[in-house]
Chains A and B, each alone.
Chain A
Amino acid sequence: MMLEARNIDIDYGTGLILEEVQFAVRAGEFVAVIGANGAGKTSLLRALNGTVETARGEVLLEGKELGSYSRAQISKKIAVVAQENETKFPMTVREFVLAGRFAHGGPFGWETEDDLRIADRCLELCRLEGFSDRIMNELSGGERQRVLLSRAFATEAGILLLDEPTNNLDLSNQALILKLVKKRCETCGSSALVITHDLNLAAEFADRALMLKSGRIVADGAPEDVLTESNISKVFNMNVLRDRNPRSGRVRLTPLF
């Protein structure tokens, strides 16, 4: 087990945000996290890398309690693509991606040749050759998101937590981001936990889907077992037409209005 949540509760002081959540992520697994707005998806992700405190239960990283690691140790094992952050100071793409190497260096000094090479390779991987010296604030939404993904890759962490990485992206960028994550899982044995509101993308890419409702896991399993008409109507209050994508054979959902 790379990452395991054992009966975790989260409480911001206004009632439980997450209740008795229990699951484990295996190496190489691509897990889609699905649920309505406010279901506790982001809080779950935050608890998994220890940036939000759990009120009860524990998170185990490679079998050891998360609290026994330092922030730097955690960030070498778990990388995050959070929802959009604005950069208030002009910053180049390379400077931004090198933040992914923070935990690998000391407090003083510059990045090593190794760090630079890794950063450049991750940019290339995300199809951003030639972007190194571009300014972050001048990128398009799709390019920016790929830079965030490059930064997460640059940590060389085995676990990726992505919070709605395809939000506000065009069709090809949505596909590209998820393909890159999927490839990372397949080639490097990384695990990915991806929050998404696009059920069809989840069905196409995920090995497993985790469905949250009001802070509780209501379904956990293969996407086609989780993405059923009854589950979706329970969680989203929407009726869907369920069939299969004739090309991929994966579950396909069409909302009925």
Chain B
Amino acid sequence: MIFDRKNHLAAFFALVLLLAAAVSAGLFFGSETISFGTLNETQAAILYQIRLPRVLLGACVGACLAVSGAALQALLRNPLAEPYLLGVSNGAALGTMLAFVFFAAFGFSRPLMAFAGALLATGAVYRIARSKAGMSVERLVLSGVIVTTFLSSIIILLTTLLDATRLRSFTFWLLGDLSQATYTGFYLTLAAAVIGTVLLTSQARALNLMMVGERDALDFGVEVGKTRGIVFLTASAMVGLSVAASGSVGFVGLIVPHLVRLATGSDNRTVLPFSALFGAAFVVVADTAARTLISPRELPVGAITALIGCPLFIFLLKRN
């Protein structure tokens, strides 16, 4: 696949168009349908104050989750890996929750604490998984499961501190919810999406070798420790900022890279940037569905992505 560069350019533009279409659809559809040229004051407010930041944030969150999922899968040589498996998402969720409970007034505390939580969770998993003989994939995945479980129980414990109203909004957020979108959240997540995608793509060649094996990668000239560090740090930041802005939107990091690989092959130099674009479109479409399916009420977007993701995933698994 990697030789047909014209095809890659075509695929890239097709994905950009798809993303543009998804964003326009997200802007026009909703409990209040908006059409061009006839904006009254309420509609303008809905469009610019509510829908636009929400759609843009959704796109950035989708890009972040999809790219970090793709990179972690390659790094861990585990097609089923994703931020959740490593406890990165739960670390971010716990960080956000601590900010939510203790520093609710301070706007930047959520993304900061989420990033810190994601980093700490990744660090903990890394420390637990590392042994004298190096770090095996199995050990790492197991550590991820343990850390995730541990963090989940702390989150559950902390929810007892919340009153009923906050508990409800927090539960909604835990499932992945874009309704609290702000421009600040969007700018932060946009920065994470752009810088993160570039950083991870800079490791794409190394990840191509690491997909085959860490020993192999070392043999053929990859600074394995450096690549692993960059991927863990970048993925933590991307997942942390996404979770802070929109909670744990599941399945994006799993489904999107798989679909991209099915279409273009496993070369990370295409898988990573294409996952960013496709992940962005995927979450925007899912969130539009979440807003319109039972309108005027809303579903958490995480429920929609899981509803789309699970059957698709089972299908992929069976087809292999």
Contacts and interface: CB of A to CB of B under 8 A. Distances in A.
Interface of A: 12-13, 49, 51, 70-76, 79-80, 82, 85, 87-92, 94-96, 98-100, 102-103, 105, 107-108, 110-111, 116, 151, 155
A74 B223 CA distance: 11
B221 A74 contact: yes
A12 B201 contact: no
B254 to A, nearest CB: 14
A116 B204 CA distance: 18
Contact of A87 (B205, B212, B222): B212
Contact of B2 (A79, A102, A110): A110
Contact of B216 (A85, A89, A95, A103): A85
A89 B223 contact: no
Nearest to A105: B205
A99 B208 contact: yes
Interface of B: 1-3, 5, 74, 77-79, 132-133, 201-206, 208-209, 211-213, 215-216, 218-224, 261, 265-267, 269
Contacts of A116: 3
17 contacts: A71-B223, A74-B221, A79-B219, A80-B219, A82-B213, A89-B79, A89-B266, A90-B265, A91-B212, A91-B265, A92-B1, A92-B265, A94-B3, A99-B209, A108-B204, A110-B269, A111-B2
A88 B320 CA distance: 12
Given A88-B79, A107-B203, A71 B265 contact: no
A155 B209 CA distance: 14
Contacts, number: 94
Contacts of B213: 82, 85
Nearest to B78: A88
A100 B220 contact: yes
Nearest to A90: B266
Contacts of A70: 221, 223
B79 A102 contact: no
Contacts of B222: 71, 102
Contacts of B267: 95
A72 B220 CA distance: 7
A188 to B, nearest CB: 19
Given A12-B132, A95-B267, A108-B201, A71 B218 contact: yes
User: Per DSSP, are chain B's interface residues mostly helix, strand or loop, or mixed?
Assistant: loop
Contacts of B212: 85, 87, 91, 96, 99
Contacts of A90: 261, 265-266
Given A91-B266, A99-B209, A108 B202 contact: yes
Nearest to B198: A108
Contact of B133 (A12, A51, A85, A151): A12
A63 B213 CA distance: 30
B269 to A, nearest CB: 7
Given A88-B79, A89-B79, A102-B222, A95 B266 contact: yes
A49 B218 CA distance: 9
Nearest to A72: B221
B221 A103 contact: yes
A200 to B, nearest CB: 28
Contacts of A107: 202-203, 205-206
A88 B216 contact: no
B215 A82 contact: yes
Contacts of A110: 2, 5, 269
Nearest to A76: B221
A85 B215 CA distance: 10
B29 to A, nearest CB: 36
Contacts of B211: 87-89, 91
Contacts of A87: 211-212
Given A72-B223, A99-B212, 4 more contacts: A51-B218, A87-B211, A89-B266, A111-B2
Contacts of A151: 220
A75 B133 CA distance: 22
Contacts of B78: 88
Query: Which 3 A-B residue pairs are closest in the complex by CB-CB distance?
Result: A103-B221, A75-B221, A72-B221
A150 to B, nearest CB: 13
A111 B208 CA distance: 13
Nearest to A75: B221
A12 B222 CA distance: 23
Contacts of A12: 132-133
B219 A75 contact: yes
